[in-house]
Amino acid sequence: MKNTKDYINLLPPEEKKPARARSIAALISGLFALAWLVIFGWQMKQALDLRSRLDMLTVKKQSLRQHLESMYKDLGITIPAGTSPEKAAVIQSILNERVLWSEVFKHFAQLVPKGLWFDSLEGRADGKAEIRIRGGAFNYVTVAEFMLAMEKSQYFEKPQLLSAQKVVVQTREAIGFEIACGIKKTPGVR
């Protein structure tokens, strides 16, 4: 059995609608808040992932920088204090492009066998570094020994005998020769 208060409604029908509108508004605002929280949570997760990746890359960068510094020490390359790695790389590439002629001539002094002399040396460092040597020797074996020494050297590459012929030097028979060879801009690299 129903009580009287269950079927008697003292409120006019218009006043019931706002409660329903309020519940719909509350539902929409709840859905909006939920969507905002999901999007905010997703963005936070991405930010944390990026931060951890940045930390990992920073550690890797420091490790590579230390490795680079140790390689510079091993190679005997000095870099001015306060130089950024980018500037150091540019400096090193410029240094790699030039030829240290004083080192080349010092090395020549060690390679030249007895009985061999130079009449002229012509060096070129633009593009591919190379040197042309004109000189003489008392026999072909001395010229061959010199070329073999150049071939084994860390400064010279692919020596080529352009010419070798008998000549008379101060009433003595000798061998006049011309050799061309490349020069390694970074000695020690074969």
Report yes or no on 3 lying in a domain. Answer: no
Instruction: Measure the CA angle with vertex 43, ends 37 and 49; round to 5°.
Output: 135
Sequence-ordered alpha helix ranges (H) in 76-163: 85-97, 101-111, 140-152
Averaged pLDDT, 30-34: 93
Whole-angstrom distance, CA of residue 187 vs CA of residue 190: 8
pLDDT in tens, 39-62: 999 999 999 999 999 999 999 999
Q: Which of 159, 155, 151 is nearest to 189 (CA)?
A: 155
Report residue 177 as tokens.
């020769």
Same domain, 45 and 114: no
Q: Which of 147, 136, 132 is nearest to 175 (CA)?
A: 136
Grade residue 98 by pLDDT with cuts at 50, 70 and 90.
low
55-69, 106-120, 149-163, range with greatest mean pLDDT: 55-69
pLDDT in tens, 150-186: 888 877 888 888 888 888 877 788 888 888 888 776 5
Which helix (H) or strand (E) covers residue 51, if one does? helix 17-75
Is-contact 164 177, C-beta < 8 A?
Answer: yes
Number of domains present in the structure of the chain: 2
Same domain, 72 and 116: no
Structural domain span for residue 174: 98-183
Same domain, 80 and 49: yes
